[in-house]
Amino acid sequence: MPADPLMHILLDGRPLDWYGLSATDGVLAIEAPDLAVAYQSAPGMAGSHDVTLDDPLGCAYPGLRRIALGVVTVGEDDEMMDARRRLGSLIGRLATLSYRELPGQWRGRVTIKDWDERMLGPCRVDCATTIVMDAYPHIMGRAQRHTLREGANLLHVTGNRPAWPVLTLTTSRAVSALSIKDGRGHTIDIRPAATLPAGTSVLVDCKAQTTRANGTLAPVSLDTDYFALLPGMNTLTLSGAAGSCEHEPEWMI
């Protein structure tokens, strides 16, 4: 069965025809995200006070988005059953969905709705269902990698939402502390229990808010503030190490 030539849909990195499926005409729905907003009323104040927790760009954090894609399989009974088995292997799993000129892919857990079997007398004509993904609210772009030297570094970040970096560093000399600063007043201050020799591998995951030295969790100071990179130009200043920074651009559409 040919994949949809207009949508170029990829489900978990594979075209729909790999599963033995075709997209149903007109059945691709992407729900708008629910924003986590909060307001507080107070006597003597008109309206309400906005107490929403904002991201670094001043946007309210969105919840998951439900994406529905109608699909159908046709053919002999064993071919349709094979298509159902292949699609069934994704149920409950984290998977990806992309199509057309998206700058990246949706990611989320997959399930399906009821199978609708159309019969013509004793023969099964086709089977149709709807793939449902509870997706992360942003489209995740292709990972971008930047080389970092000790001192100040300029990084350009695409996307229209903050992106969380993972820094892979190597100490340039024996150090008792490492620091990573962005250009907005945030600092990751790494304070290992013992001096790190030159060549020590340090991994900093800002989204997970973890730091590891040679694979072992490394302590950071109490005022450490793991940061996101904002769309546009960013400055990272390293002390005691050099290496690389990798992030995935995030798009809200």
- Rounded to an integer, what distance in angstroms lies between the CA atom of residue 27 and that of residue 23? 8
How much is the pTM?
A: 0.85
Structure confidence at residue 44 (pLDDT): 81
Contact between 27 and 119 under an 8 Å Cβ cutoff? The reply is no
Torsion angles phi and psi, residue 108, rounded to 5: 180, 180
Structure confidence at residue 2 (pLDDT): 39
**Residues in the chain, how many?**
253
Sign of CA dihedral 216, 193, 198, 143: positive
Structure confidence at residue 3 (pLDDT): 41
Asked whether residue 112 carries a pLDDT value surpassing 60, the answer given is yes
- Rounded to an integer, what distance in angstroms lies between the CA atom of residue 6 and that of residue 9? 9
In terms of DSSP H, where are the helices of 57-188?
77-88
- Rounded to an integer, what distance in angstroms lies between the CA atom of residue 25 and that of residue 246? 38
Comma-separated ranges of CATH 2.40.30.200 domains in the chain:
10-137
- Condensed to tens digits (0 to 9), the pLDDT of residues 194-231 reads 999 999 999 999 999 999 999 999 999 999 999 999 99
More confident residue, 181 or 2: 181
Q: Measure Cα distances from 44 to 40, 48, 49, 122 in Å.
A: 12, 10, 12, 73
Asked whether residue 125 carries a pLDDT value surpassing 80, the answer given is no
Half-sphere exposure of 108 (CA within 13 A, CB side): 22
Q: Among the listed ranges 28-42, 77-91, 94-108, 109-123, which one has the minimum average pLDDT value?
A: 109-123
- Alpha-carbon Rg for the chain, nearest whole angstrom, is 24
- Rounded to an integer, what distance in angstroms lies between the CA atom of residue 246 and that of residue 234? 13
Asked whether residue 136 carries a pLDDT value surpassing 50, the answer given is yes
Comma-separated ranges of CATH 2.60.120.860 domains in the chain:
141-251
Sign of CA dihedral 169, 173, 177, 182: negative
Virtual torsion, Cα 41, 47, 52, 55, nearest 10 deg:
-160
CATH 2.40.30.200, applies to 10-137 = yes
Task: Give the CATH number of domain 141-251; options: 2.60.120.860, 2.40.128.120, 2.60.120.280, 2.40.30.10.
Answer: 2.60.120.860
Half-sphere exposure of 100 (CA within 13 A, CB side): 4
- Condensed to tens digits (0 to 9), the pLDDT of residues 10-51 reads 999 999 999 999 998 767 899 999 999 998 988 887 878 889
- State mean pLDDT over 182-189: 96
Q: Among the listed ranges 120-129, 144-153, 172-181, 195-204, which one has the minimum average pLDDT value?
A: 120-129
- Condensed to tens digits (0 to 9), the pLDDT of residues 28-38 reads 899 999 999 99
- State mean pLDDT over 105-132: 87
> One-letter amino acid identity for 157?
V
Structure confidence at residue 88 (pLDDT): 95
- Rounded to an integer, what distance in angstroms lies between the CA atom of residue 60 and that of residue 147? 32
Where does the pLDDT of residue 113 fall: very low under 50, low under 70, confident under 90, or very high at 90 and above? very high
Torsion angles phi and psi, residue 196, rounded to 5: -90, 125
- Rounded to an integer, what distance in angstroms lies between the CA atom of residue 115 and that of residue 103? 31
- State mean pLDDT over 145-169: 97
Nearest-5° Cα angle at 192, 189 to 193: 140
Asked whether residue 100 carries a pLDDT value surpassing 90, the answer given is no
- Rounded to an integer, what distance in angstroms lies between the CA atom of residue 7 and that of residue 11? 12
Mean predicted lDDT score pLDDT of the chain? 91
Structure confidence at residue 121 (pLDDT): 62
Contact between 202 and 171 under an 8 Å Cβ cutoff? The reply is yes
